[in-house]
Structure 1
């Protein structure tokens, strides 16, 4: 009798627990985008689809404050090159060697010979404290002449008149003539020669 009672009570508890559970829910259908027939006027470019669930927004993470833009100092203003001589030089003939390295002293010595004249030009600067470097660029022709000289100063304190005076003095420099064989091998010599000008007391 007691065993039968426990069996009835167990069946009642199981039935009650079955009735207390909510009925199972039907699976929720995913959010669907209404479909329509494609039109010939539709753009053929595929659309990008976001995988983010509807109604949720991306978290806004704290961002570092944008630093204020730093002021960049403008580059120093360099005077334009000053050129004297023929505006158009004769076209150089083809030569066999890509690079030739003549003795530096052979080309520096004639320039040093006119240093006193370059110094006299420097003394004419309107600014008595003018100091700086002037880079001279020129080509030595086969007969040893210099047809055109360009000078560029690294500071506006050395004004154009001073640089022009120096370039005119360099045009008077003469080199030894070169043979046809030398020119056919190496071509004409291009020279870039910087000269630093300072006060005598410095």
Structure 2
């Protein structure tokens, strides 16, 4: 077997393990998941899993990195296309009307909330936060360059507010969604805010 095939096999096996880990994280939550859980779910031996990953933390971060790369690529494609930025924003916000819980977003929320006491994990979380704030800033700034947006507030403030509200909506979906909050009304309110702060001349 050639080295190329061997590397391809290893990469495919690694991705399969990450999919298994993702499923277990969603089912049990990040903090409750152990490497033993993932070994059992994968059907591999303990050594077969540990030759690729040494901890749940490592697996979690690889899953997040793969997702981030995919989403950043999507942002960049939108920015470098003729797709209206406003349509993209509304599509993102509308996606928060109905969210199946649990999902990997809830796992990320759990990881972040529980991680602030750990300095190394906190640094990781903050670095990701900066990356995504920058991406949303870039998206909104592109809307300004194209003449779509006429911001009434600094772009950075609008991007931060948008991200904070979306995180809040995810949190309330975790707590029971429409049983404790008018999620539909919150989404409508966010779209209304964005219209006022971005579209009105």
Alignment TM-score > 0.5, same fold: no
The normalised TM-score by structure 2 is 0.24
* Larger CA Rg, structure 1 vs 2: 1
The normalised TM-score by structure 1 is 0.24
